[in-house]
């Protein structure tokens, strides 16, 4: 993959590029807690977005997407979002760096990767982080890694129009091999937790669906959580986020039932992250697996961001010996389930799940075995 991207760049621009990578991410547990000031437990993975880049003297950003086989150019001094287009993620990062006072000049870029798009593995965040890091390296901007995280997140907000939390970009940039990151999304304090799964592997099962209400429902959930926080502040003025709300306090609030359910899920999920870190540090994989199943139950019933395909895959694993835990991962309404599976049964599980899923939904799922890897860097 790296060689293909490098040779494509040389063919297009007749010069040697700088090569940068940024990985996709999984989230072991802690879904929709990030924008509520809570905790998450992500890890960078061994699937990456790769950027080849070199300066040019034109004042133009010239980009080529290997995956889309498409070119795009924009004037570095004057540009705006192009809704729904992949180039928006690149331009969004350039815009953020410029607003922060960094001098971004004309550049040539080729990018591609092996992160499945639409599977909930944050291919867009990986691209944003790779672009930010690549521009910093190329122009000697010396942007701190944590700042690249912030600029990439703001690019998603302002250019792509998705009000994402900080987790995806943080995991992509700050990942560490064989570790997960317990990230406090309010303070950005973090700890690395070794992921020692022994004979177990992390298997992602991709539903191959992405229901169209994902983005609008995401923004709606944020509003519902904010409604809960506003009500809680009437009783306890120092509350900033749902992370500060206890189940006891939540029960005292006069909330519509749907808002109560959303808030209850986030409060419980936040605690599950902390409990999971304790369980993993003790090597209690079975206890951790139970938390993973509980997370899916809440996502499906209380937060209502699952779908028939995701629920089917999670329910299927409950009858299989050798699966410790399964849940939907990411924003919801499609994408992947994350599964902790004994290595001896992975092949058979993939076969059985494929057959059952095809019977039910007339399509085949995809499977990815992933492992925690290093975050953004130079190749």
Q: Return the active site residues.
A: 168
Q: Which two tokens stand for residue 180?
A: 């997960």
Max CA distance (Å), the chain: 66
Whether residue 136 is annotated as binding a ligand: the answer is no
Is 218 marked as binding a ligand? yes
- Structure tokens belonging to residue 374: 């290093």
The C-alpha atoms of residue 71 and residue 243 are separated, in whole angstroms, by 44
How distant, in Å, are the alpha carbons of 191, 330, 331 from that of 305?
28, 9, 7
| 315 marked ligand binding residue | no
- 156 labeled binding residue: yes
Q: In degrees, to the nearest 5, what angle opens at C-alpha 145 toward C-alphas 161 and 101?
A: 65
34 is in an annotated binding site: yes
- The answer to whether 32 is annotated as binding is yes
157 is in an annotated binding site: no
Element (H, E) at 89: helix 87-99
Closest by alpha carbon to 183, among 21, 370, 372, 35?
35
158 carries a ligand binding annotation:
no
Quickly tell me which residue has 């287009």 as its tokens: 85
**Residue 203: strand pairing partners:** 339, 369
Three-state SS at 15: coil
* Residue 295 labeled ligand binder: no
Judge whether 123 is annotated as a binding position: yes
374 marked among binding-site residues: no
The reply, when asked if residue 44 is annotated as ligand binding, is no
Strands 377-378 vs 60-65: parallel, antiparallel or unpaired: unpaired
CA angle 262, 250, 271 (to 5 degrees): 70
Residues making up the annotated binding site for Mg(2+) are: 124, 156
Q: Which residues are annotated as a binding site for ATP?
A: 65, 118-124
Annotated binding-site positions for substrate: 31-34, 218
Q: Which residues are annotated as a binding site?
A: 31-34, 65, 118-124, 156, 218
């Amino acid at each position: 993959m790296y060689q293909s991207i490098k040779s494509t760049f040389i063919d297009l621009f007749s010069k040697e590029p700088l090569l940068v990578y940024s990985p996709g991410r999984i989230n072991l547990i802690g879904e929709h807690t990030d924008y509520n000031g809570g905790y998450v437990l992500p890890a960078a993975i061994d699937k990456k977005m790769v950027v080849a880049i070199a300066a040019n003297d034109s004042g133009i950003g010239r980009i080529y997407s290997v995956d889309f086989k498409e070119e795009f150019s924009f004037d570095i001094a004057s540009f705006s979002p192009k809704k729904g287009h992949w180039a928006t993620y690149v331009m969004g990062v350039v815009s953020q760096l410029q607003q922060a006072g960094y001098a971004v000049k004309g550049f040539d870029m080729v990018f591609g990767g092996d992160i499945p798009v639409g599977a909930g593995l944050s291919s867009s965040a990986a691209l944003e982080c790779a672009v930010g890091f690549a521009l910093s390296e190329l122009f000697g901007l010396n942007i701190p890694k944590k700042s690249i995280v912030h600029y990439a997140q703001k690019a998603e907000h302002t250019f792509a129009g998705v009000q994402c939390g900080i987790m995806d970009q943080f995991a992509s940039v700050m990942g560490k091999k064989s570790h997960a990151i317990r990230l406090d999304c309010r303070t950005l304090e973090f700890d690395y937790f070794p992921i020692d799964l022994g004979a177990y592997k992390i298997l992602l099962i991709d539903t191959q669906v992405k229901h169209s209400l994902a983005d609008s429902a995401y923004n709606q959930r944020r509003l519902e959580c904010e409604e809960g926080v506003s009500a809680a502040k009437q009783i306890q003025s120092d509350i900033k986020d749902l992370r500060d709300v206890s189940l006891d306090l939540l029960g005292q609030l006069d909330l519509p039932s749907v808002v109560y359910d959303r808030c209850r899920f986030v409060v419980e999920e936040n605690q599950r992250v902390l409990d999971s870190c304790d369980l993993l540090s003790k090597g209690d994989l079975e206890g951790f697996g139970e938390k993973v199943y509980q997370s899916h139950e809440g996502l499906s019933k209380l937060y209502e961001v699952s779908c028939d395909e995701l629920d089917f895959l999670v329910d299927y694993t409950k009858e299989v010996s050798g699966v410790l835990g399964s849940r939907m991962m990411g924003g919801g309404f499609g994408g992947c389930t994350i599964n902790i599976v004994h290595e001896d049964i992975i092949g058979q599980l993939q076969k059985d799940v494929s057959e059952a899923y095809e019977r039910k939904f007339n399509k085949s799922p995809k499977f990815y075995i992933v492992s925690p890897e290093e975050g953004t860097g130079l190749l």
